[in-house]
Amino acid sequence: MQIVEFADEFGPEKVLEVYDPKTGMKGFTVVDNTALGPAKGGIRMTPTVDVKEVFRLARTMTWKCALADIPFGGGKSGIIFDEKKDADKKLDLVRSFSRAIKPICPSLYVSAPDVNTSEKEMQVFVEENGNFNAATGKPLALCRDIYGKKVCGLPHELGSTGYGVSYATQVALKYRETDIKGASIAIEGFGNVGTFAFKDLEEAGAKIVAVSDSKGCLFNESGIKYEEIYEVKKKTGSVINGKGKKIDGKKIFELDVDVLIPAALPDVINEKNMNKVKAKVIVEAANIPMTLEVEKKLSKRILIVPDFVANAGGVISSYAEYVGKGPDYMNKLVKDKLLKNTDFVLKRAMQKKISVRDVAMEVAVERVRKAMAKRERKR
Q: Just list the catalytic residues.
A: 76
Is residue 2 a contact partner of residue 43, using CB atoms and an 8 Å limit?
no
The 8 Å CB, 24+ separation contacts for 344-353 are 345/67, 345/309, 346/171, 346/172, 346/175, 346/303, 346/305, 350/175
Q: For residue 79, what are the CA distances in angstroms to 82, 117, 182?
A: 10, 10, 42
From CA 113, how far away is CA 281, in angstroms rounded?
Answer: 28
List the one residue out of 135, 102, 103 whose CA is nearest residue 120.
Answer: 135
Amino acid letter, residue 355? S
SS (H, E, C) the chain: CCHHHCCECCECCEEEEEEECCCCEEEEEEEEECCCCCEECCEEEECCCCHHHHHHHHHHHHHHHHHHCCCCEEEEEEEECCHHHHHHHHHHHHHHHHHHCHHHCCCCEEECECCCCCHHHHHHHHHHHCCHHHECCCCCCCEEEECCEEEECCCHHHCHHHHHHHHHHHHHHHHCCCCCCCCEEEEECCCHHHHHHHHHHHHCCCEEEEEEECCEEEECCCCCCHHHHHHHHHHHCCHHHCCCEEECHHHHHHCCCCEEEECCCCCCCCCCCHHHCCCCEEECCCCCCCCHHHHHHHCCCCEEECHHHHCCHHHHHHHHHHCCCCHHHHHHHHHHHHHHHHHHHHHHHHHHCCCHHHHHHHHHHHHHHHHHHHHHHHC
Amino acid letter, residue 134? A
